[in-house]
Amino acid sequence: MTTKTGQEAAEAADEAEEVTRPVWARIAGEPGEEGEEGHLELDEYASLDATALRECLVQGDVAAPELADTARRALARVNDALNALTIPPLDPALDANPNGRLGSVPFLLKDSAPFARGLPFSLGSRSISGAAAAADHPLMRKFRDCGLAAVGQTTAPEWSLSFATESLRYGVTRNPWALERSVGGSSGGAAALVAAGAVPLAHASDGAGSIRIPASCCGVVGMKPSRGRTTPSNPALRLPGSSGPPTAGAALGVDFAVTRTVRDTALLLELVTEPGFPTPAPAGTSPLRVAVTTASWSGAAINSEVAAAVTAAAEMLEWIGHRVTASSPTLDADDIRDGAALGFLAAGQQILAAPVQPRRDLLETVSRSVLDATLALSRPQAEASLAAQARVTRAVQGFFAHTDILVTPTLAQLPPPHGTLDYNRPRDRGGPPLQQVQSWIDEMFEFGPFTAAFNIAGNPAISLPLGHSVHGVPIGVQLVAAWGRDELLLDVAADLERAMPWKNRLPPIFVS
């Protein structure tokens, strides 16, 4: 047995007192201590997820105005390096229910739609100027109800139709892990600022991978819920020449969020789920049937470090006790591309139906192609693309009849240098507009071939930051479950978070 010296005993007592002091006292400092009284210290703030920050508020360890001010200071600390905000931080934050389950937790909104009443929006486009949302988006009403306090708006590429967050309106959004590399897209501003510790979670949307791809590039958690679980981010396509209701097939987009922890993702999903969404019976305790693949349906080459991260995740699931086999759905790459293109044209119809039309001369190259393809779309073209979507959906649904979880890369490659995916590089200029759009999607699928199939089929899918490359950038691993099995997907994600934690991996650009 060893005996502490007087000095060691005093130090131990001080350490114990430090642990038992309220969080607010530890992070703000007592009067006379270093630090700004009445403010969270940035390192403590950035270490807490939304669930923990809400607990601080409930316990009285911090007040809502101070928390919002800390978030604004955090944004100011990192945004010059990242270029991820479209407007200065909001002061005060947008109104929200302070007594909600996430009451007064700082949050960011994506510039992807007229989303919050009175908030300016541009959709990442020079062609929209001086516009503000006339009313709250249905999901924004849910965000307000659960208490999220929006303190800023994040960058997105024009119309959110790129896997890179680069636009002529806002320039390049940079990756906190490596400033010269892409943050992915289209929710790149959201993912960059969550990764940098500026906020614990942020609004994002996903029409072909736009939540999961930035999550992979920036090392955060990005989930696309099941179709119908949350409010869709774009309407369904109206068939050319049809006076009937839009067809549901092309409504590929989902609005949700990026976070730093699985528990925040699970809590937010619970809070924003649409009324009446069916909840399947629990999966039970038997080992899950897990399939794993590192082969893309498009034939895109897979980086060896990406493949290794997927293999490590699969091996961990096997160690946990699940049955893991090498398998994947049999999908046609052209069907995925054509189905995704129809989702782009549904967005084009939404733009064309807006009260204020964009100035064509200020649109970027792919956006002009999308508008032209939307205007030129024939009913046979639309029906052929809907048939492609149906084939993808049948194949995916059939696969999950005998599989619980599919594990894939989120991306085929590490985050590329800026400009690799160039929204304004001329492509197939002599071909018909739809061919130009398809060519752009083919180019994006060389980088991100694994995500869009599950927008088409409607399955829940999540990217987890389970790998890290020798170049110092994160590697996302995608998990997919059957439609409606969002809770099962989150349970498995939480198991991997405990077994392969990422909490202490921080990027060079971080608020503290």
| Domains present along the chain, CATH in parentheses | 37-499 (3.90.1300.10)
**Tens digit of each residue's pLDDT (9 = 90 or more) over 177-199:** 999 999 999 999 999 999 999 99
Query: What angle, 0 to 180 degrees and rounded to 10, lies between the N-to-C axes of helices 188-195 and 64-82?
Result: 110
State the Cα torsion 91-94-100-104 to the nearest 10°.
-10
The answer to whether 100 touches 146, Cβ cutoff 8 Å, is yes
Exposure string (b/e) for 235-270, b if CB count within 10 Å is 16 or more? Answer: bbbbbbeeeeeebebbbbbbbbbbbbbbbbbbbbbe
Q: Strand locations in 285-424, DSSP E?
A: 289-292, 323-326, 405-409
pLDDT for position 467: 98
- The pLDDT score that the predictor gives to residue 250 is 58
Alpha carbon 43 to its chain's center? 24
The pLDDT value recorded for residue 232 is: 77
Give the bridge partners for 149, in sequence order: 106
- Asked if omega into 186 is within 30° of 0 (cis), the reply is yes
Annotated catalytic residues are 110, 186, 210
The residue whose two tokens read 């989303």 is 115
pLDDT at 231: 85
At 354 the pLDDT is: 86
The secondary structure element, H or E, covering residue 202 is: strand 201-206
Residues in the chain: 512
Q: So what's the pLDDT on residue 36?
A: 41
Which tokens in the block code for residue 227? 């179709």
The answer to whether 164 touches 157, Cβ cutoff 8 Å, is: yes
C-beta separation of 437 from 367 below 8 A: no
Name the nearest CA neighbour of 111 among 92, 78, 95, 133.
133
Strand ranges for 53-167 from DSSP E: 106-110, 149-154, 166-167
Beta-bridged to residue 49, according to DSSP, are none
Integer Cα distance of 267 and 503 in angstroms: 18
Q: Could you give the maximum distance between any two Cα atoms of the chain, in Å?
A: 87
Global confidence as pTM = 0.92
**Structure confidence by residue, pLDDT tens digits, 232-261:** 776 677 788 766 655 655 579 999 999 999
CB 484 within 8 Å of CB 461: no
Residue 32 · residue 60 · CB < 8 Å: no
For residue 466, give the amino acid letter.
L
**What is the edge-to-edge ordering of all strands in the sheet holding 289-292?**
201-206, 254-259, 221-224, 461-468, 474-481, 405-409, 289-292, 323-326
- What residues in the chain have per-residue pLDDT under 50? 1-38
Q: What does DSSP say about strands 289-292 and 405-409: parallel, antiparallel, or unpaired?
A: parallel
